[in-house]
Amino acid sequence: MQHHSVEWMPHHLHAAKELRRSAIELDLAAQVVREQNAVAARDELVAVVSHDLRNPLSAVSLGATLLVRALVNARQARRDDRARAVQRDPLAMSCRFIV
C-alpha cells in the first residue's frame, strides 16, 4: 500500500486550526473546573479545621478560667485559715513569726 500526502487546502488549514482551538478551550475549561473544585475543597477543609480548633480552644479557655478561680479560691482559703488560726491562738501565731 502506498501512502501519498495530499496538499492541505486553505479550508483544511482553517478546520485544523479551529479543531486545535476547540481542544485547547476544552482543556482550559476542564482545568478551570478542577481549580474550582480544589478551591471548594480547601474552603471546606478550612471551615472544618476552624470549627474543630475553635471548640478545643474554648474548652482550654474555660479550663484556664476554672483553674484561675480555683487558685484564687485556694489562696483565699489559706488566708482564711491563717486568720482563723490567729483568732484561735494569737500567742501561738506570734511565736511562729518570732522563731
pLDDT band of residue 92 (cuts 50, 70, 90) is low
Grid cell at residue 79: 488566708
Residues 73, 65: Cα–Cα separation, whole Å = 12
Least confident of 3-7, 8-12, 81-85, 95-99: 95-99
Phi, psi of 4 (to 5 degrees): -140, 140
Per-residue three-class SS string for 23-66: HHHHHHHHHHHHHHHHHHHHHHHHHHHHHHHHHHHHHHHHHHHH
Residue-wise pLDDT tens digits, 33-81 = 999 999 999 998 888 888 777 777 777 777 788 888 888 888 888 887 7
pLDDT of residue 51: 76
Specify the length of the chain in residues.
Answer: 99
